[in-house]
């Protein structure tokens, strides 16, 4: 029984995460979860999935993305998933230097998600061609909470899962 309890202990996750699992599964999970959050939250505020992902594409194309139809929607969707894979990749490499990111995913994952949101909102988006508008409190709360729970936490949990001994991954 004590071995069973010890295997769930934070200190038992001392292995290194596997790049394939951490990046591929983390990126896919975050891409889907953040996609769903965006279409539900902004959909309730009157946006369409096409418009949401054309906004993402507008980071590269500027306002022309909004008249690009399906092509710019697909470009925005691809860019969205590219970002998700980049976020998972950054966490993976950081966890190689800071093993606490693997041992304490419920602490570091949400904090990472909040940092991702703040960097995307206040550094990345203004550097590109996407139109920058107001940042109302509901949008800010959805961004911070959504990125903590739907971006950072899944990436951290998947990285932790991938750090378990190989035999453990086969059962999940």
pLDDT given for residue 73 in this prediction: 97
Domain annotation covers residue 1 = no
Domain annotation covers residue 11 = no
Domain annotation covers residue 102 = yes
| Parent domain of 111 | 17-165
Q: What value does the mean pLDDT of the chain take?
A: 88
Which contacts of 134-139 are long-range, i.e. CB under 8 A and separated by 24 or more positions? Answer: none
Interatomic CA distance for residues 91 and 40, integer angstroms: 26
Domain annotation covers residue 29 = yes
Domain annotation covers residue 6 = no
**pLDDT tens digits, one per residue of 74-99:** 999 999 999 999 999 999 999 999 99
Interatomic CA distance for residues 3 and 30, integer angstroms: 32
Nearest alpha-carbon partner for 84 in 18, 42, 132, 33: 33
Task: Give the relative orientation of helices 26-44 and 137-147 as an angle to the nearest 10 degrees.
Answer: 160
Total domain count for the chain? Answer: 1
Tokens of 9: 């202990």
**14 CB neighbour count, 10 Å cutoff:** 10
**pLDDT tens digits, one per residue of 110-161:** 999 999 999 999 998 888 888 877 889 999 999 999 999 999 999 999 999 9
Q: DSSP of 96-136, one letter per residue?
A: HH-THHHH-HHHHHHHHHHHHHHHIIIIIHHHSSS------
**pLDDT tens digits, one per residue of 40-75:** 999 999 999 999 999 999 999 999 999 999 999 999
- Residue whose tokens read 């292995």: 15
**b/e for 82-98, b at 16 or more Cβ within 10 A?**
ebbbebbbebbeebeee
Read off φ and ψ for residue 47, nearest 5 degrees.
-90, 155
Domain annotation covers residue 3 = no
Report, in angstroms and rounded to the nearest whole number, the Rg of the chain calculated over CA atoms.
Answer: 18
- State the pLDDT confidence band at 3, using cuts at 50, 70 and 90: very low
pLDDT given for residue 166 in this prediction: 59
Domain annotation covers residue 43 = yes
Domain annotation covers residue 51 = yes
């Amino acid at each position: 029984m004590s071995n069973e309890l010890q295997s769930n202990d934070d200190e038992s996750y001392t292995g290194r995460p596997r790049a394939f699992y951490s990046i591929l599964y983390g990126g896919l999970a975050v891409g889907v979860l953040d996609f769903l959050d965006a279409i539900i939250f902004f959909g309730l505020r009157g946006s369409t999935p096409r418009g949401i992902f054309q906004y993402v594409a507008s980071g590269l194309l500027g306002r022309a993305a909004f008249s690009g139809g399906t092509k710019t929607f697909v470009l925005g969707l691809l860019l969205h998933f590219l970002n998700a894979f980049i976020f998972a990749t950054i966490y993976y490499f950081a966890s190689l230097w800071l093993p606490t990111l693997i041992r304490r995913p419920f602490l570091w994952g949400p904090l990472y998600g909040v940092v991702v949101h703040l960097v995307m909102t206040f550094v990345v988006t203004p550097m590109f061609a996407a139109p920058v508008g107001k940042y109302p409190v509901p949008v800010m709360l959805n961004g911070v909470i959504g990125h903590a729970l739907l971006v950072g936490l899944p990436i951290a949990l998947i990285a932790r899962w991938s750090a378990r001994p190989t035999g453990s991954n086969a059962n999940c």
